[in-house]
Amino acid sequence: MKTIRKFLCAVLSVILVLSALTACSGRADKSGKTFNTASSDSIPSDTVAANSDFELIWEDDAKCVMLKNIKTGKIWSTVPYEYYLSGGTSANVNSGLNITVSNSQTFQWDNVNGFSEAFLNGSVIGEKVDGGIKITYYFDKYEISVPVVYRLRDDSVEITIDPSEIGEGDNYLLVSVTPAPFLCSAVNSQSDSYLFIPTGSGALMYTDERAGAERKYSGEVFGEDAARLLTEDLIDDEAIRIPVFGARDKNSALLAIIEDNAEAAYINAMAGNSRTGYSNAYVEFYVRGYDKIKSGTQILKYDDIAKVSEELSRSKIKMGFYPLDGTDASYMGMARRYKRYLTENKLINEGENKTDTFGVNITGGVMAYATKLGFPGEKLKVMTTFSEAEKIISELEGISEMLPEVCLTGFGRSGIMPGRVGGGFDFPSVFGSKKQHLQLERLCADKGIGLFTDFDLIRFSSSGNGFTAVFDTAKSATLQAVKRSPVQIPLRSFDTENKYRLLKRERLEAAVQKLISAASGYSVSGVSLSTLGSTAYSDYSNAAYYTKGNAAADTAKYINQIAEKGHRTAVHSANAYAAALSDAVFEAPIDNGGYNDFDASIPFYSTVFGKGRNIYSSPLNEAGNYQKQIMLSAIGGTRLSFSLINDFDISCMDIQTQRFYSSVFGNNRELIKQTLEKYGPFYKAISGAGVQDYVILSGNISKTVFDNGVVLYANHNAAECDSPAGKLTPYGIIWSETEKGAAA
């Protein structure tokens, strides 16, 4: 009987899934555009725009756009210039636009090549526009047309795509567009040529061809869409926090900045591709979101399908490609140019970071297993009270010449676990009285210690403070309420017992205003936004938020609103738009995540954001390799940090998302003291300085030059080795204001 019941339940679930898919298979009015075939001739080859430094050239025979540097003669082209001259006709190299489509009935996705499906059919049309050219690709078989506009600017070329101009028929939905996949490329196997990928701290992929196969990479900008429903979702990688990439080809380089709609982008790269002879980096923009769901194709058999949203995103796509030459034709030149872009567009705040500091994260409490009258449940377990935090900070202040900069996490109603939005915007009495909290704030203010209190504005699991789970949950691409599970660290699996929701995007404004009011009422000097600064997500209850739309602009607005009320701000593992505007960044990336296809890690993130704000590494007392983490932090000037609690409750052993057992202050006091005694002089020497140059030397040794003259050599090996400044211990560093150096 049980077997029959299970069988009937399985059949019923299949029917329900199929019914849901059928119900949502109808077409909605997406863009108001219908597909029309090409109805005009393409303009002839010509220079379509020029200034004193560059020419933008249209080559009609190859249907490619070229950017020529008048001074150097270097030509960057959508079909690599050397390949264009050779007359090659590779479907990959010669394609100026690729797309992905979804069949409206079967939901099957197809990758469509622009050379094969548009160029060879005579369906690529170029027309002159102000300052450049518009190229429209007509994919007749799929009834889709995509216009791409190239415009010359003073020092760059701009590429834009307006979704409102995209044409579609009835049988296929456009999922993604990949413009100019070979514009940012380098000829294989040239010395000192590489691709730059911004994963984590920053990474390089060299262009040499190797036995076996080419190396590939694909990563979603600003991290995985937290609102995307996936059947399997376990990612343990460093995310892309910065919307840039680049290539160095011989003595020239090209930096690409995703200037609008970076939230919808994936950065892809292929290095050492022997079939094309080129290494290239490019962007794929998703114009529709999607969920992966299980569909019953046969009784008791399920397949995963990707169901896209009915409507196109309305966010315009814009990229800028910046040629770099001379000393700027390098990854450091790319970092300088990107920071200048942020400054010119007023996207970065240049604050002060002259104080010698180390980071400290103090955890207040967590919801842990407990019983009441014999019934199982959860109870808020206190690990650190306000008075205990005050005592810890007082001891840390006297432990060395360096000052701690502190973030209080998990002092809300549910501790570090998602509960009410913003943790309820108050401090439960179990952590101490309002007077004790105020005393803690005053201690830090008197000692010149930065103090931030964290508020989780995105994740919530219960209603309260004017927010309800029923009406205020974000919607996924298939209009499902978004529910997520945290990851269990030891097992690398999901903690399905503690699901949480994502706050509706249009309700974030109200959450920020409640936070500002609470911060004022509790005299909170600094506000930490751990989830808001690191999480970008879609919300298909409003077209403005499709494909993570406006996540960067909205977050920047909220951070500025908080700062305007007199509160300092901090973020954690922050995306560029949040890091650039905050006073401190905790858990800043210092490595590229250990991808096998990367050849080197570089401190790009800390070069861009490390001067003007204090940036801190992940906690040293939680590091898998303590010495290596110090070395990786030092090469970019990233300050050291520690995670602390006052006391550990055995019931918290069941909490699978944190390593509290390694955070007890009494067990870490001596480690902190010895670490600061050894490395404090180096961080004092670079106080207020930023990275000026970073060079990878032979033997896996690196050299960092800070803009105040301090020089650091670092050993990236697990064995002792020699450096230009002397012998280096495994993962050791030598620093000095002279080239001789002092070991640490």
What are the DSSP calls for 295-333, one per residue? EEEETTEEEEEEEEPSSPP-PPEEEEEEEEEGGGSSHHH
Pairing of strands 244-249, 252-260: antiparallel
Cα distances (Å, whole numbers) of residue 593 to 144, 235, 490, 589, 721: 38, 11, 18, 9, 24
Does the pLDDT value for residue 497 go beyond 70? no
pTM as predicted: 0.92
Please indicate whether residue 75 or residue 300 has the higher confidence score (pLDDT). 75
Per-residue pLDDT band for 739 (boundaries 50, 70, 90) equals low
CA dihedral 607, 215, 247, 599 (to 10 degrees): 40
Per-residue pLDDT band for 20 (boundaries 50, 70, 90) equals very low
Cα angle: 267, vertex 269, 271; to 5 degrees: 165
Per-residue pLDDT band for 468 (boundaries 50, 70, 90) equals very high
Per-residue pLDDT band for 166 (boundaries 50, 70, 90) equals very high
φ, ψ for residue 106 (rounded to 5)?
A: -95, -15
Residue with tokens 């210039």: 81
Does the pLDDT value for residue 31 go beyond 70? no
Cα distances (Å, whole numbers) of residue 220 to 103, 224, 265, 664: 23, 6, 6, 36
Question: What percent helix, strand, coil does the chain show, rounded to 5?
Answer: 25, 35, 40
Q: What is the pLDDT of residue 737?
A: 82
Q: Map residue 198 onto helix, strand or coil.
A: coil
Per-residue pLDDT band for 467 (boundaries 50, 70, 90) equals very high
The residue type of 231 is T
Residue with tokens 């033997």: 699
Q: Map residue 611 onto helix, strand or coil.
A: coil
Per-residue pLDDT band for 575 (boundaries 50, 70, 90) equals very high
Q: What is the pLDDT of residue 375?
A: 55
Residue 604: name the closest of 612, 593, 592 by CA: 592
Does the pLDDT value for residue 101 go beyond 70? yes
CA distance 481 to 472: 9
pLDDT of 197-215, one tens digit each?
Answer: 999 999 999 999 998 789 9
Please indicate whether residue 366 or residue 114 has the higher confidence score (pLDDT). 114
Specify which residues 578 forms β-bridges with: none
Does the pLDDT value for residue 260 go beyond 90? yes
CA distance 454 to 442: 18
CA distance 493 to 712: 40
Average pLDDT, the chain: 89
Q: Map residue 590 onto helix, strand or coil.
A: coil
